[in-house]
């Protein structure tokens, strides 16, 4: 969630009439421009009122604390499933209802706030808002009905709980999630065509199977007739596509005659391998196509926001051109990002101001959010504090030898070796007191390493340089995660670092998929709990239930499910439901799990097949598609255009790229020695997920979008609704 | 396997001195040029001697019958595994040895032939030939050793059988297969890096699992201690990556404490989902990159061959330019493709000869193999034979009404409905005599349909127009495959047809993967049979073996393997080995299968893990990558450049594209009305797999390759060795 840092502007409304120099815009104008820039930077697409009052309300709306509150209450609302019947920790109905009411009030207040910020007509046109209002109203109705039914002793269903995860999708901040859902929705028609063909092929094979095996009087291991009922065959073959019942489903036919294996080989080739790959291809292709279109829209609306900001700050320049002066630009940047260092800001200005004219035109101004999104770490290059405090001691020959040793490659190798030995010790038996003592010795060695490094390098430089890899070094000390130290050994090999860094870059997007999965799992868990709760019971070893060995029900006696100790895989509370759904996502044994949960309730198969289609065929494939795309980008695109232009500018400014850190560029970092070693600037990739997406499609976007730069009649694009 | 059609040239060597007009090249020159063109057309890369004798030897070498003989004997050689111990059908050792000796003689003869065709120095430089020689020699040695050991009663191993599938790779015709292997070999380093990281992550998780669960005194369902031995944990977690033991491996920990599920969720996320996707990404990326390079080489060497052919036939043109006259070109095309129709050849000439000059230059000449590779069907548009024989009857109003009805859409819909009803009948019980009669009624209806269609359309036009879809109509009549009729219903929906056609286009390449899989399976089957034969026995129901229920061995009593009736999944002969390997490829239950085959032989795990890495991680991923790529090409590239230029030319020649068949273009066919409805030309995609590959990378290849056209110093590229 992007965090707004425009705190000084909260007083915009009050400061409107502060007098400013003649040619200068009002302070409130700066605020408005800064809001535009910040929106462009974080790709917010809210059409707010531009009156100073509305702007400061809008700022408050985007304040990180407000966003945090909304997410906390959504989290609380979702977490209520833990306490509601069937509960992990039971709570009285009035308690959960009260908490839910509070959540609903918060959501309503947030919505009121939003309504104040944007024009009324836009508020009612936005399906997101309608959606939230409907969810709130339905939840309210459900609470009342459920409460009154329960208090009068009737049975009731909390059906509105299914709607809760939709809040995550429809809050203003859920842009990434909405985009993911839109991509899925847009890919659906194509997926459906392939799915129909796939189903058709399955039905065809089922018919053939019925004709081939139905009359042969074969039996499965459990003694059931084999392949005699058409619908059962269809289901068995669907399960075979997921490979979950391979080779069991084949064995009776194969035992009867080896040639029958050919039928299953053909089936697996066509339906498991080819069709599943086609699904991936279709999902991938459509996902990419639609995402590209979305990113194009993002870039377009970003530019329009920047043009608006420019319109607010523009002043007549030397010719006919309208410009923004360096002074105004500085103030704007200071408002947008108060914590920016002077060196960093000067660098950005020198990049924007090509010709050293102390003012920039429209084209250069529009670049600002991209420049701000490049992560730059400013760091003063200064002598080691020990060097200042004890110059003689620190420069003594012993000290210099020590520092030289620490800087030597062998130092790294020795510690890699120590870590490996440590890992082996961890693998060994801990009962042995010698090994327990060794653990303390290793700890001491790691501490010594950090101290030696701090002695050799200037502390701030040391931490800034290693960034991610050093946080882990601190984690080393945490004993529970001590095996993670091994990552350091891998880190020292360049090739591995590239892969690991790509994985880390994908990280934030995986969180978006996490939300996506959460929404889908939550809905399925709610429905599943209503349908299947208490059908299967997990009983402790000391239970006296007569059906203890068959999960508390006589129906499961002697089934694979009971034999494999699967009793805890049930829908009896939200936690076990989630874990059960995860097992269904992994697919293996899902037919066993389902046959138990349903306890021979045949129609329940539909629930599970539907889950499989939604989660495995669609969402997991999109996830795979995203990872594929991210790796292709990593393997093909070396640097983004903007970063390259940044480097070009730096070279033009006669600054040299330092060699040591250029070697470090595998981290995605580059360092620049600015003004005779006074500052170091590291810049890594983009800060946001949108940045990564933009980078993915940069090559396709850059050309055509240059055209509509001069289009003055821009309109606000409303593509932010599902 | 491309089939040479240059039969008239076999007499080249004899006809050398036949006199020809002054400016005309010798007939043997035409032969040489035709061989070059044919080589370019089918991407053969053999540097043959250019003497007329060598050329006709070379022609013989490429003759389809010779190639067929080689493949038949390779097939016989591979099929020997069926008769050798452990045999499906046992044969005496002298019998199999004799057959193998005959095979080896054929391979040697083929190699001698090859040595006669190409210069000696090239023969010995080519690793393919060395490879075949080594295989032949080792096989010979093995036969002798094995025979003598067996005859003296010793135990012996037929180790050279592992080498047999390598013949498939190293014969001249195995280009596609060699290319696939080269792609794999080139992708290996990148795959290895990811694999090391993956192994590292697995070991890390194993260490954590040992620390988390080792001391808790947990037990698996079988009563074994849970997660106490490091190597067992590593293996269990490796199996979890393949999802085969999910959720079993988690259950003891999960039953102990629900929070432990988090460990497995994290593991599955990272290792099953992310790492497996990264494998796909890396395999895909590298495969594509190297394949592109190979195709670039193909295009280059194709052009060089055509330049050689041009050099043979060139004559001085009007200016300084060297040209080939239409007369010579016609003779060349006639030699290369004797069955080409005049209309087709004229069309190709009019495309090559831009300016109607009756001769073409180098640039246009080089296009020839691509033009020949475009599938063109020539078809005379003529009246229906019935119209000629019984004009009055055929033109009567009843007949016209009938023909109109058959052409109507409703006719198609009615028959779609009939097919659906038929499918339902098939699904119903056949015992019912009414349904058995109905089957005959349906058959009569299908026959009626074909007769009606033949009555309405001119028979030859009818069959040419429908091509593939009509072969199936004939299959309809074959009762066994009657359910395939349902495909016709799907065929009538355009969207489905696109997908089906893409799948059909991929077909030939899937055969290459089939060979790849065959080579790998064969090697693993041979090794597996030596290691595990007779460890598990499949006993018929009437067997008196005391261990009948546990696959003939007391070791398997009560195991999942025996309980699930898996006894037939063994390495006791080559057929069951192949099916077992297929089951291991599908992955599910593989740990059970393996534990049985090995019968607690722990080191055998390596065999299975290695198989998993080679087949599932590498080959299946390449297969998936290929399908992905083919679908992306289908979705993005609409037409190939060459086809477009063909169409452009046709338009220039003032020919109009017919509407009916333009609508049919979803099939990949296009039809042209040539010279006032006298001829129809249908052209579909390329005939060869190389054509498909070339089309895939066309966009990247076309630009840069235009540059080296005028390079006269071309050398033969030798990239055809593994």
Q: What is the mean pLDDT of residues B122-126?
A: 89
CB pair distance less than 8 Å for A586 and B254? no
Is the same domain home to A399 and A438? Answer: yes
Q: Between the ranges A553-567, B146-160, B453-467, where is the mean pLDDT highest?
A: B146-160
Helices (H), B174-275: 175-213, 230-241, 251-256, 261-267
Q: Is residue A238 part of a domain?
A: no
Q: Which band of pLDDT confidence, cut at 50, 70 and 90, is reported for residue A210? A: confident
Rounded distance between C-alpha atoms, residue A637 and residue A670, angstroms:
16
Q: Is residue B489 part of a domain?
A: yes
Distance from CA of B470 to the nearest CA of A (A): 19
**Residue burial A118-144, b: 16+ Cβ < 10 Å; e: rest:** beeebbeebebbebbeebbeebeebbe
Residue A502 · residue B282 · CB < 8 Å: no
| Pick among B269, B279, B516, B586 to test the A interface (most A CBs inside 10 A) | B586
Cβ neighbours for B281, distance < 8 A, ≥ 6 positions apart: A627, A628, A631, A632
Q: Is pLDDT at A20 greater than 60 in this prediction?
A: no
Distance from CA of B636 to the nearest CA of A (A): 9
CB pair distance less than 8 Å for A576 and B258? yes
Is the same domain home to B612 and B576? Answer: yes
Encode pLDDT of B501-524 as tens digits. 777 777 777 788 888 899 999 999
Is the same domain home to B221 and B291? Answer: yes
Encode pLDDT of A362-377 as tens digits. 888 888 887 777 666 5
Q: Is pLDDT at B320 greater than 80 in this prediction?
A: no
Encode pLDDT of B376-396 as tens digits. 655 555 677 888 888 888 888
Closest residue to A624, CB basis, from B277, B500, B582: B277
What's the confidence (pLDDT) of residue B479? 45
Place of tokens 């038996």: A429
Q: Which band of pLDDT confidence, cut at 50, 70 and 90, is reported for residue B7? A: low
Q: Which band of pLDDT confidence, cut at 50, 70 and 90, is reported for residue B655? A: very low
Is the same domain home to A520 and A610? Answer: yes
Percent of chain A scored above 70 by pLDDT? Answer: 76
What's the gap between Cα B499 and its chain centre?
18
Q: Which residue of A has its CA nearest to B262?
A: A579
Q: Exposed, middle or buried by CB within 10 Å (0-12, 13-18, 19+), for B340?
A: middle
Q: Is pLDDT at B429 greater than 90 in this prediction?
A: no
Q: Is pLDDT at B145 greater than 80 in this prediction?
A: yes
What's the confidence (pLDDT) of residue A572? 85
| Pick among B187, B210, B517, B588 to test the A interface (most A CBs inside 10 A) | B588
Reported ipTM: 0.80
What's the confidence (pLDDT) of residue A142? 93
Is the same domain home to A460 and A574? Answer: no
Among B171, B201, B225, the domain-final residue is B171
Q: Which band of pLDDT confidence, cut at 50, 70 and 90, is reported for residue A698? A: low
Q: Is pLDDT at B299 greater than 90 in this prediction?
A: no
Residues of A in contact with B261 (CB under 8 A): 579, 582
What's the confidence (pLDDT) of residue B685? 46
Q: Is residue A475 part of a domain?
A: yes
What's the confidence (pLDDT) of residue B105? 95
What's the confidence (pLDDT) of residue B102? 95
What's the confidence (pLDDT) of residue B642? 52
CB pairs under 8 A between A and B: 191
Is the same domain home to A527 and A615? Answer: yes
In whole numbers, what is the pLDDT of chain A averaged over residues?
76
What's the confidence (pLDDT) of residue B15? 44
| CATH code of residue B425 | 1.20.120
Rounded distance between C-alpha atoms, residue B573 and residue B571, angstroms:
6
Closest residue to B635, CB basis, from A210, A285, A427: A285
Is the same domain home to A163 and A90? Answer: yes
Q: What is the mean pLDDT of residues A235-261?
A: 86
B646 sits in which H/E element: helix B641-652
Choose the weakest-confidence range: A192-196, A269-273, B242-246: B242-246
**What would the two tokens of residue A186 be?**
């847009």
Is the same domain home to A530 and A624? Answer: yes
Q: Is pLDDT at A475 greater than 90 in this prediction?
A: no
Least Cα distance to B248 among B565, B589, B609 occurs for B589
Q: Is residue B4 part of a domain?
A: no
Q: Is residue B253 part of a domain?
A: yes
Q: What is the mean pLDDT of residues B441-449?
A: 83
Is the same domain home to B189 and B157? Answer: no
CB pair distance less than 8 Å for B211 and A579? no
B562 sits in which H/E element: helix B560-563
Residue B240 · residue B267 · CB < 8 Å: yes
Q: What is the mean pLDDT of residues B94-115?
A: 93
Q: Which residue of A has its CA nearest to B628?
A: A281
A435: domain range? 387-493
Is the same domain home to A509 and A591? Answer: yes
| Pick among B234, B262, B419, B583 to test the A interface (most A CBs inside 10 A) | B583
3-state SS, residue B462 = helix
Is the same domain home to B540 and B560? Answer: yes
What's the confidence (pLDDT) of residue A421? 83
Is the same domain home to B148 and B198? Answer: no
Q: What is the mean pLDDT of residues A315-338?
A: 84
CB pair distance less than 8 Å for B627 and A274? yes
Q: What is the mean pLDDT of residues B203-213?
A: 85
Among B139, B171, B203, the domain-final residue is B171
Q: Which residue of A has its CA nearest to B629?
A: A281
As for how many domains chain B has, the answer is 4
Percent of chain A scored above 90 by pLDDT? Answer: 11
Closest residue to A583, CB basis, from B247, B496, B582: B247
Q: Please state at what angle helix A494-532 crosses helix B175-213, rounded to 10 degrees.
A: 70
Residues of B in contact with A265 (CB under 8 A): 579, 582
Q: Which band of pLDDT confidence, cut at 50, 70 and 90, is reported for residue A104? A: very high
Q: Specify the higher pLDDT residue, A452 or A463.
A: A452
Choose the weakest-confidence range: A3-12, A193-202, B197-206, B539-548: A3-12
What's the confidence (pLDDT) of residue B74? 94
Q: Which residue of A has its CA nearest to B272?
A: A586
Q: What is the mean pLDDT of residues B441-455?
A: 83
């Amino acid at each position: 969630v992007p965090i707004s840092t425009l705190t000084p502007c909260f007083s915009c409304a009050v400061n409107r009439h502060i007098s400013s120099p003649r040619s200068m815009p009002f302070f409130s104008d700066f605020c408005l421009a800064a809001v535009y820039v910040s929106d462009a930077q974080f790709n917010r697409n809210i059409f707010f009122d531009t009156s100073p009052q509305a702007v400061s309300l809008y700022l408050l709306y985007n304040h990180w604390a407000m966003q945090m509150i909304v997410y906390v209450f959504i989290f609380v609302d979702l977490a209520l499933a833990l306490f509601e019947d069937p509960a992990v920790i039971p709570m009285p109905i009035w308690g959960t209802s009260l908490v839910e009411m509070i959540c609903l009030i918060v959501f309503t207040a947030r919505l009121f706030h939003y309504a104040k910020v944007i024009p009324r007509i836009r508020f009612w046109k936005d399906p997101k808002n309608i959606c939230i209002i409907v969810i709130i109203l339905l939840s309210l109705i459900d609470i009342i009905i459920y409460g009154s039914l329960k208090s009068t002793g009737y049975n009731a269903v909390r059906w509105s709980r299914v709607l809760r995860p939709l809040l995550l999708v429809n809050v203003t901040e859920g842009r990434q999630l909405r985009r993911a859902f839109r991509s899925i929705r847009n890919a659906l028609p194509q997926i459906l065509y392939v799915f129909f063909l796939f189903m058709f092929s399955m039905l065809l094979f089922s018919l053939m199977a019925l004709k081939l095996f139905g009359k042969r009087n074969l039996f499965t291991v459990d003694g059931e007739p084999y392949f005699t009922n058409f619908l059962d065959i269809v289901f068995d073959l669907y399960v075979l596509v997921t490979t979950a019942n391979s080779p069991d489903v084949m064995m009776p036919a194969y035992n009867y005659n080896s040639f029958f294996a050919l039928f299953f080989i053909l089936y697996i080739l066509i339906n498991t391998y080819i069709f599943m790959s086609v699904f991936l291809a279709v999902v991938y292709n459509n996902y990419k196509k639609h995402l590209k279109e979305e990113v194009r829209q993002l870039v377009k609306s970003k530019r329009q926001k920047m043009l608006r900001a420019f319109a607010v700050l523009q002043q007549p320049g030397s010719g006919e051109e309208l410009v923004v002066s360096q002074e105004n630009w500085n103030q704007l940047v200071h408002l947008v990002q108060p914590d920016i260092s002077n060196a960093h800001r000067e660098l950005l200005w020198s990049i924007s101001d090509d010709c050293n004219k102390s003012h920039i035109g429209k084209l250069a101004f529009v670049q600002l959010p991209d420049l701000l999104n490049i992560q730059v770490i400013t760091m003063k290059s200064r002598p080691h504090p020990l060097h200042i405090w004890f110059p003689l001691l620190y420069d003594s020959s012993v000290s210099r030898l020590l520092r030289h040793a620490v800087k030597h490659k062998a130092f790294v190798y020795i510690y890699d070796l120590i870590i490996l030995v440590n890992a082996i010790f961890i693998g060994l038996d801990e009962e042995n007191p010698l090994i327990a003592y060794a653990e303390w010795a290793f700890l001491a060695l790691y501490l010594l390493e950090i101290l030696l490094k701090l002695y050799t390098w200037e502390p701030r430089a040391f931490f800034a340089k290693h960034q991610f890899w050093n946080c882990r070094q601190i984690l080393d000390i945490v004993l529970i995660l001590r095996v993670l130290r091994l990552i350091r050994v891998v880190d020292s090999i360049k090739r591995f670092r590239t892969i690991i860094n790509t994985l880390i870059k994908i990280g934030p997007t995986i969180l978006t998929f996490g939300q996506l999965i959460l929404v889908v799992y939550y809905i399925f868990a709610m429905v599943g709990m209503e349908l299947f709760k208490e059908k299967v019971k997990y009983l402790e070893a000391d239970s006296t239930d007569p059906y203890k060995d068959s999960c508390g029900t006589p129906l499961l006696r002697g089934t694979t499910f009971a034999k494999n100790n699967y009793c805890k895989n049930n829908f009896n509370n939200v936690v076990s439901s989630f874990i059960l759904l995860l097992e269904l996502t992994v697919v293996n044994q899902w037919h066993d799990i389902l046959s138990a949960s349903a306890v021979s309730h045949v129609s329940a198969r539909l629930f599970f097949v539907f889950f499989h289609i939604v989660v495995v065929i669609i969402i997991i494939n999109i996830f795979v598609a995203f990872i594929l795309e991210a790796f292709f980008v990593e393997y093909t695109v070396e640097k983004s255009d903007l970063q390259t232009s940044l480097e070009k500018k730096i070279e033009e400014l006669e600054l040299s790229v330092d060699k040591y850190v250029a070697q470090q560029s595998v981290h995605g970092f580059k360092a620049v020695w600015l003004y005779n070693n006074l500052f170091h600037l590291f810049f890594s990739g983009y800060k946001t997920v949108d940045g990564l997406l933009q980078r993915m499609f940069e090559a396709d976007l850059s050309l055509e979008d240059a055209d509509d730069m001069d289009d003055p009649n821009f309109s606000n694009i409303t593509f932010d609704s599902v």
